[in-house]
Structure 1
Amino acid sequence: MSPILVFSVIAGYFLLLMGISHFTSKTSDNTTFFTANRQSPWFLVAYGMVGASLSGVTFISVPGEVGNTAWTYLQFVMGNMVGYAIIALVLIPLFYKLKLVSIYEYLKDRFGQNSYYAGASFFLISQTIGASFRLFLAAVVLQIAFFDAFGIPFYVTVLTTIFLIWLYTFRGGIKTIVWTDTLQTTFLLLAVIISIGVIINHMDLKTSEVFSVISESKMSKIFDWDWRSNRNFFKTFLAGVFITIAMNGLDQNVMQKNLTCKNQKDAQKNIFWFSITFFFSTLLFLALGVLLYKYALDQNIPIPERSDDLYPFLALNQFGIFAGIVFLLGIIAAAFSSADSALTALTTSFCVDILDIQKKEKNQKNIRLWVHIGFTLIMFLVIVIFNAINDSSVVSAVFKVAGFTYGPLLGVFAFGLMTKRTVKDKWVPVVCIIAPILSVILDQNSVTWFYGYKFGFEILLVNAAITFFGLWTLYIRKPGFL
C-alpha cells in the first residue's frame, strides 16, 4: 500500500472526526465536556461503546491469539456479560441517585477525602498507562504503513497522532466522543467483516463450509478445565465478571459515557444492549482468527513469530488494497476510540476529583483546557518511553502492573457497598498501595509457593480481597454501624 494512499485514508478519516467535533461542540461548556448535558441517546452510547471496549489491543491481538489459546478467551467474555448485568443493576442506580460527574465522588461521601483522592489517583495512573499503551500500538502501525517511507521519526508520529486526538476532543469532550465512537465502531466492525469476506472469497468457500471450517478447527476449543492452567474456565469466568466490574463499572472512562444518558433507565438499557453487541462482536474476532490461520496454511504463508503480527501482515500484504484500507481504518478507529475517551476521562477526573473545578468561580473553562493539554503531553511522553524501552516483555510487565491498580478500586467500592462500616480515612491510601504490591509478589511466586499454580486474570480478585481485608482492619466503631 503506497504511503500517499495511506496518508489520504488517514486525512479523510480525521476530516470526518473534525466534522463531527464541529457540530457537537457548538455552545459547549464544562457541563457539555464532562456530562454531554446528560442528553445522549442510549442506543448511540451502546453502539459506540463497542469500539471503545474492543480497543486496538483486542483488534490486533484476539485474532492472532486464537493460534495460542484457541477460543478460551470466550470464557472471559461470558464472565463479562454477568459483570455488565451487575453494573446495570447495582452501580448505575447508585451513580444516578448521587448525580455524580466523577464516580470517585462516591468514595468521598462514603469514607472521606483521602479515600476519594486514592480512588481517583489509582484511576489516573491506570488509565494513563493503559491508554498510552493502546495508542502506542496504533502509532507503530502508522509508522510502518506511512511515516517510515518519509524517514519521519517515531516521536513525530506519536506527537501528530495525539495532537489530532486533542484537536477533536478539546471543545466538546464526552459529547463529541459519544458521536465519534459510533463512526469508529462502524469502521472497526467493517474491517473484521470485510476481512472475513476476503478470506472466504480467496479460499472459494460457501457459507455452510465456513461454519464447518470454524467449528471443526482445533482452534475453536472454548473450555479449559485444567485447574492449574491460567485459562481454567472457573478462574477465567470469574475474572471476566470482576474485571468488567472493576475496569468498566469503576472506571471513569467507561462510566462517563453511561452517565451521559438522559436517565437511569436509559443507561441500563444501554448497558444490556451494549453487552449483547459486544459478545457477538467478539465472536467475529475469534472466527476471523481461525480463518486467518487457515488462510495462511492453505497459501503456504509463514506464520509470524508474534501472533499479534498475523492479522496486520495478511491484511496489509495479502488481502488487496481495499481490505488493507479498511484494516487501516479499523486499527485507527479501535485505538482512537479508546484513546480519545481516555483523554477526556482523565481530564474530567483530574478537574473534578483533584482540582474540585466545580467550586471555582472563575476560569473553569481555561483550567479544563490546560488540564486537557497536560494529559495530552503526559500520554505523549509515556508512549515515547514505551518505544525507548523497546522490550516487549518490559512493556507487557508495565501494562500488567497498571492492571493491578484496579484491584484496590474494586476492593474499596465493594467494601463501601457491602458493609456499613466506617474506616480510618487517612490509612486507606496505604492499604490501596500495599494490596497491589502483595498481589504482584504472589503472582511472581505462585508456581513455587502453590505447587505449580499460575494466576491468571483472577489475581485481580486477590488484589481486591487484600484491599477489602485491609479496610476491615481500619474499622471505626460508631453507633448504628455494624
Structure 2
Amino acid sequence: METQAFGTLNYIVLLLYLVAIMLVGVYFARRQKSADDYFKAGGRIPGWAAGISVFATTLSSITFMSIPAKAYTSDWTFLIGQYIAIAILPFVFYFYIPFFRKLNLTSAYEYLEARFDIKMRLFASISFMLFHIGRIAIITYLTALALIPFVDMNPLTIVFLIGVLCIIYTFMGGIEGVIWTDVIQGIMLSAAAIMIFVMICFNVDGGVGEIFSMSAEADKYFPAEQFAWSWTDSTIPVLVIGFFFASLQQFTASQDVVQRYIVTDSIEETKKALLTNAKLVAVVPVFFFAVGSALYAYYSQNPQLLPENFNTGGILPFFVISQMPAGVAGLIIAAIFAASQSSISSSLNSISACYTSDIYNRLGKNTSKEKALSMARIVTVVAGVLGVVASTYLIMSNESELWDAFNSLIGLMGGPMTGLFMLGIFVKRANANSALAGVVMSIISVLAVRAMTDLNFFFYGVIGTLMVVLVGYLTAPLFASNKSEEELHTLTMQREA
C-alpha cells in the first residue's frame, strides 16, 4: 500500500509540538540542582499533575492505536482491565502509599533492602531496568512500524524524533520536566481520542446512534461467550484476574509509577494524584473503544475506502491521515508521538533513579550530590541510547510478533517483584532467605509454565506473584530472621503482633 502524503501543514504542526516539548525540558533544567531534584522534584508537583502523569505513563502509543483496532476487529472486553486498575486503588491507598511516603524513598526497591536484604533490592531494581530498556525499544519500534505505511517518513527518522528528543528533554528536565510534559501529552491523548470520535460521528450516516447500534447488532461489546472460563484465551474472567495482578504490579512494584508517589509534598496530594488518574482511566479509554466502534461503522458504510488486504492493526492512523483535515491530522500524529514519549521519558527517568539510588549511591563511595546528579544524567542518556539502538536493530531486522512475547515476560519479571512487596508488607515472619527461595521458585515456575503449557500469558503474573508469597511464607521457619522486632513493626502491616 502506498504511503499517504503527510503534507506541509501536518509537518509544521508536528514540529511545533516537538519544539514545545523541548522547551519544557529547557525550562525545568535550571531547577535540577541535585539528584533529589532530578528524581523527586523537591515535592513541588501538585497531585492533579502527578495523576495526569501516571495516566500518560501507563498509556503508550501502542495502546493508543491498538485499542481502537481491537474494538474495530473484535469487541470491548479489554475495557474490563481499565476498571480493574481503578478497583485496586483503595488497596494501594491504604497499604502501600504509607510505606513509600514514610520511608522517603528515591527508588521503590530501597524498601526491599530495609525489609529483606541488598540481594532482593538489586534483583528487583536490575529486573526493572532491563525490562524498561526493552520496553523503550519495543514501544519506539512498534510506533514507527505502525506509522510507516501512512506517513512519508523514513522509519529511522521516526525513531530519532521519538527517542533522541525524548532523551534530551528527560536529560535536562528530570522528573519535573517529565511530569509536566506528561501533562501536556496526557491532555493531547485525551483530546485526540474525543476529537477523532466526534469527527467520525459527523461522517457516519445516522451519527452516534447508528455507530452504537451497528456495534450492538454485530455483538461487538461484551459477547456472551467472552464470559466463559478459559485457561488459554483472554476471556473476561481471565482478564479480571490478569489485570488485577498486572495493575498491582504497576501501582505497587514499578518504579515509573511509584516514583509519582514521592514527588508531591504530602500524602494527601499523592492520593489526589491517584484519584485524578482514576477519573481519567474511567472516562478516556471508553473513547478509545468508541473510536474503534465508530471506525467499524464508517468503513462498513464506506468499504471502498479501505485498500485491499488492509492490515486493520493500523486502522486508526490510516483514517487520521487519509480522512482528517490537514493540520488536524498532524495534531493527531503528534498525539501518537506524545503517547510514545510519555511512556519512554518515564522509563528513562525511573531507570536513572534505580541505577543512581540502588547501585551508584548504595555500592559506591563518597558520592556527592553533584556526582549523583551527573551520574543520573549519564544513565538517562545511556539507557535512551540503548533503547534507540535496540529499536533501530528491530527495524533493520524486521522482527515480528514482539509485543505478545514482551507481554508474556511481564509475569516473569514483574510477578516476582510484586510478590516481594506483598511478602514484605503482609507476611511478618518472612525473611531474606525465604524471600530468595520464593523468587527462585517463582522464576522457575513461570519459565516452566511458559515452556510446557499453552496457559494464557495473563496467568504468568499471577503465578509469579503468588509463588513468591507462598514459598516465602512456607520456608520462613527454616531460616533465622535478619530483622529485629522493632524493624518488623515499622516495615510490615502486622503491627499488633
Q: Same fold (TM over 0.5)?
A: yes
Cα separation, 1, equivalents of 2:8 and 2:358 = 44
Quick check: 36-45 or 25-34, which moved more? 25-34
Summarize the alignment of residues 194-205 of structure 1 with structure 2, pairs less than 5 Å apart: 194-205=195-206
* Contact 1:6–1:145, Cα closer than 8 Å, also in 2: no
- CA 3–248 in structure 1, closer or farther in 2 if over 3 Å, else same: farther
Is 1:130 paired with 2:135? yes
Cα separation, 2, equivalents of 1:138 and 1:94 = 36
- CA 433–320 in structure 1, closer or farther in 2 if over 3 Å, else same: farther
Is 1:35 paired with 2:40? yes
* Contact 1:236–1:458, Cα closer than 8 Å, also in 2: no
DSSP-derived class of the 2:107 partner: coil
Summarize the alignment of residues 42-441 of structure 1 with structure 2, pairs less than 5 Å apart: 42-141=47-146, 143-144=148-149, 148=153, 152=154, 154-155=155-156, 157-221=158-222, 224-228=226-230, 230-300=233-303, 301-302=305-306, 306-356=311-361, 360-361=367-368, 363-394=371-402, 396-425=404-433, 432=439, 435-441=442-448
Cα separation, 2, equivalents of 1:415 and 1:219 = 40
Cα separation, 2, equivalents of 1:237 and 1:394 = 24
How far did residue 230 of structure 1 move? 2.6
Deviations 1:139-171 (A, max 9, x none): 3355555564xxx5x445424532211111112
How far did residue 217 of structure 1 move? 4.5
Cα separation, 2, equivalents of 1:365 and 1:233 = 46
- CA 474–4 in structure 1, closer or farther in 2 if over 3 Å, else same: farther
How far did residue 231 of structure 1 move? 2.7
- CA 147–170 in structure 1, closer or farther in 2 if over 3 Å, else same: farther
* Contact 1:33–1:172, Cα closer than 8 Å, also in 2: yes
The alignment's TM-score, normalised by the length of structure 1, stands at 0.90
The runs of 5 or more residues in structure 2 that have no matched partner are 489-496
Deviations 1:341-393 (A, max 9, x none): 11111111111111117961252222222211211111112212322442322
- CA 289–417 in structure 1, closer or farther in 2 if over 3 Å, else same: same
* Contact 2:441–2:471, Cα closer than 8 Å, also in 1: no
Quick check: 398-407 or 110-119, which moved more? 398-407
- CA 423–309 in structure 1, closer or farther in 2 if over 3 Å, else same: same
Deviations 1:421-472 (A, max 9, x none): 24344x856753552343143144434xxxxxx4241321111122223434
How far did residue 292 of structure 1 move? 0.8
- CA 44–57 in structure 1, closer or farther in 2 if over 3 Å, else same: same
* Contact 1:191–1:323, Cα closer than 8 Å, also in 2: no
DSSP-derived class of the 1:458 partner: helix
Amino acid of the residue matched to residue 255 of structure 2?
Q
The alignment's TM-score, normalised by the length of structure 2, stands at 0.87
Cα separation, 2, equivalents of 1:86 and 1:386 = 39
* Contact 2:445–2:463, Cα closer than 8 Å, also in 1: no
DSSP-derived class of the 1:27 partner: coil
How far did residue 102 of structure 1 move? 0.8
Equivalent residue, structure 1, for 2:25: 21
How far did residue 196 of structure 1 move? 1.0
* Contact 1:47–1:274, Cα closer than 8 Å, also in 2: yes
Cα separation, 2, equivalents of 1:395 and 1:381 = 18
- CA 269–373 in structure 1, closer or farther in 2 if over 3 Å, else same: same
* Contact 2:13–2:331, Cα closer than 8 Å, also in 1: no
Cα separation, 1, equivalents of 2:99 and 2:284 = 29
Is 1:462 paired with 2:463? yes
Cα separation, 1, equivalents of 2:270 and 2:184 = 20
* Contact 2:107–2:354, Cα closer than 8 Å, also in 1: yes
* Contact 2:47–2:273, Cα closer than 8 Å, also in 1: yes
- CA 428–132 in structure 1, closer or farther in 2 if over 3 Å, else same: farther
Amino acid of the residue matched to residue 344 of structure 1?
N
Q: Percent identity?
A: 20
Cα separation, 2, equivalents of 1:368 and 1:47 = 24
Quick check: 285-294 or 390-399, which moved more? 390-399
Cα separation, 2, equivalents of 1:326 and 1:219 = 29
Is 1:9 paired with 2:13? yes
Equivalent residue, structure 1, for 2:491: none
Quick check: 270-279 or 351-360, which moved more? 351-360
* Contact 2:352–2:380, Cα closer than 8 Å, also in 1: yes
Amino acid of the residue matched to residue 225 of structure 1?
F
How far did residue 210 of structure 1 move? 4.7
How far did residue 302 of structure 1 move? 3.8
- CA 146–219 in structure 1, closer or farther in 2 if over 3 Å, else same: closer
- CA 196–104 in structure 1, closer or farther in 2 if over 3 Å, else same: same
* Contact 2:356–2:372, Cα closer than 8 Å, also in 1: no
* Contact 1:50–1:185, Cα closer than 8 Å, also in 2: yes
Amino acid of the residue matched to residue 262 of structure 2?
L
RMSD: 2.6
